[in-house]
Amino acid sequence: MRTRLLTTLLAALLLCAAASARADGDGPGRGRGELTGWLVFGAGYDYDHGHESGFGFGGRYRLPLLPQGLLQGGQGQVRDSLDLEFGGDLVNYHYRYRTAPYDYGYSWWALRPRAGVMWNFWLSRELALYPKLDLGYEFGWFDGWNDAAGSHPAYAGLFLEPSLGLIWRFRPATSLRVELGSEGMKLGLGMAF
Q: Specify the long-range contacts of residues 124-130, CB closer than 8 Å, at least 24 apart.
A: 125/27, 125/28, 125/169, 126/168, 126/169, 126/170, 127/166, 127/167, 127/168, 127/169, 128/28, 128/166, 128/167, 128/169, 129/164, 129/165, 129/166, 129/167, 130/164, 130/165, 130/166, 130/167
Question: Residue 38 pLDDT more than 70?
Answer: yes
Residues 37-61, mean pLDDT to the nearest whole number: 76
The predicted structure's pLDDT at residue 69: 86
Residue 139 backbone phi and psi in degrees, to 5: -110, 140
What are the CA-CA distances from residue 105 to residues 46, 49, 93, 145 (Å)? 11, 12, 11, 8
Q: Kindly report the average pLDDT of the chain as a whole number.
A: 79
In this structure, how many other beta carbons lie within 10 angstroms of the beta carbon of residue 123?
A: 12
For the entire predicted model, the pTM comes to 0.74
In this structure, how many other beta carbons lie within 10 angstroms of the beta carbon of residue 85?
A: 19
Handedness of CA 178, 3, 140, 84 (dihedral sign): positive
pLDDT digits (tens, 9 = 90+) for 98-147: 777 777 777 888 899 999 999 999 999 899 999 999 999 999 888 877 77
Convert 20-38 to b/e letters by CB count within 10 Å (16 or more is b).
Answer: ebeeeeeebbeebebbbbb
The predicted structure's pLDDT at residue 76: 62
pLDDT digits (tens, 9 = 90+) for 53-64: 789 999 999 999
d(CA 136, CA 173): 28
pLDDT digits (tens, 9 = 90+) for 181-190: 988 899 999 9
